[in-house]
Structure 1
Amino acid sequence: HLLCPVLLLLFITEIILLLTLLYSSLLYSTGFHWLFPLYWWVFQRFVHPSPNTLIFVSF
């Protein structure tokens, strides 16, 4: 079924956008030094997914 991966991708994109907005608002209200490594780690997890994630997406 082709619809399920598309919906999943949209859902993930929505979450990433929400996280980015949340991060931006936190950046203005709190210190930048301790939030950045956490956000960078999350970003790296999305950019370099594990092989299991790649297999799941391809099927």
Structure 2
Amino acid sequence: MESNRIKNQFKLGEAFRYFFRVFGKKDPSRPDSFNLRMMHGINRISIIMFLFCLVVMLVRALTR
């Protein structure tokens, strides 16, 4: 029981599906509105900035 609860805490499948949904093709069955498009646009920007910062931190760590 305890290991099942811990395993559920670290499920990342839904998060990865969201990343592919944000950057992938549009799903026609999902609702579409201006607010939703803006939210996904802001999320794209934040994901790209996060990945860029990870690359910068990795380069800095390796060049020291």
- TM-score, with length taken from structure 2: 0.45
Q: Which has the larger radius of gyration?
A: 2
Q: When you count helix as a share of all residues, which structure comes out higher?
A: 1
Higher relative contact order (CA 8 A, sep 6+): 1
